[in-house]
Amino acid sequence: MSLLLKNLRLISPGLDLPGAAVLVESGLIAKVFAAGESLPSVANEFDAGGRMLMPGFIDIHCHGGMGYEATSEEPKAISTICEGKIRDGVTSLCPTTLTLSEERLAESLQHIEAYRLSPSACKIAGTHLEGPYINPECAGAQNPAYLRRADIDEVLRLHATSPVSMVTYAIEMPGSLEFTAELCRAGIVPSCGHSNATYAQFKEGMQQGLKCLTHFCNQMTKLHHREIGLVGAGFYEDEVAIEIICDKIHLCPDMVKLIFKFKPIDKILLITDAMEATGLPDGDYQLGGLAVVVADGAARLTSNGALAGSTLQMNMALKNAYELSGKPLCELVQTSSWNQARMLGLKKLGKIETGYIADLILLDEDFQVKHVFIDGVQKF
């Protein structure tokens, strides 16, 4: 079935086209029309009312939302989370696990796989394992009771249950260099986080294929004039991608500005790091069994006040980045989908171009998501 989206402002990497139109056929983008071009006559037309059309967001780091975690024992948790994510414009998601036992992780991936094979809302791009192979000194809101040494066999067992796209681990821990190379051989993205690594240790990891830093600046070695650490590595190494939680809490506005001033735009990945309270009021929640209180949208462990994920939504992450960075949207839009698609090897996603999958979102001028199309079908 054909669908013509017209009267829109098309924003895609390198493109900002007011008055554009997009023809969708059989779930793919068949043609992009600039303002003034003759449009085909199709039975199904959608007037965007001048709103912004962007590639659907790809959130590669999200623990939950709408009262559920990706590691919940409830089978309906993943579908509920995905239904919530579509409201903030996410069309592809990497459900992100926590530091738990292998038994719990395996059960979680069984639920994720059941949904992945028959999605009702956003798609699953693969699971992101955050932990359990992290540094105890940088555990943050991860449960220290389940920390363990990097184990490629455990990852491959989980990968056989449902595809694993990324693993976050500490590169300085024993066995992690070999682990990095083995992840790369398996086609899984290695990302360093919850780590106390030196810059030299990170460089060793890069030589084995390490290519990303998880929630940049949070739970990693700080920049110091005698040891630049992981924060320094993120700035200095142009080829390294960095996840950023652009909620003005995990990173202050000045740090966001600094990142966008010095880091190549094609290596910045907006994420939410969302936890179960996302989309719900402030109150008492939990993260991986640890008590959390959410006040003014900030989630913190009840025990020590450490940040425990976020309640950020992807559309607000992009809005914050736009307001703080001074970058045009045709550049910033890379950070919400295209960069993620390239890093994960997701083909034909992240751009609005002929032949690409019609995962599209319409936003108003305040970045509120008004409509979501997945494979050319309106889902919201």
Please name the amino acid found at residue 316.
M
- The three-point CA angle 14-17-19 to 5° equals 170
105: number of Cβ within 10 Å: 24
Task: Please give the positions annotated as active site.
Answer: 273
CA 196, 198, 204, 210 torsion: positive or negative? positive
> How many CA atoms are closer than 13 Å to the CA of 198, on its beta-carbon side?
6
Comparing C-alpha atoms, which of 356, 336, 351, 362 is closest to residue 93? 336
In 87-213, which residue ranges form alpha helices assigned H by DSSP?
102-117, 152-161, 176-185, 199-207
Burial of 360 (0-12, 13-18, 19+ CB in 10 A): buried
Q: How far apart are CA 56 and CA 58, in angstroms?
A: 7
- Give DSSP secondary structure letters for 13-79: TTEEEEEEEEEEETTEEEEEE-TTPPPPP-S-EEE-TTPEEEEPEEEEEE-EETTEETT-S-TTHHH
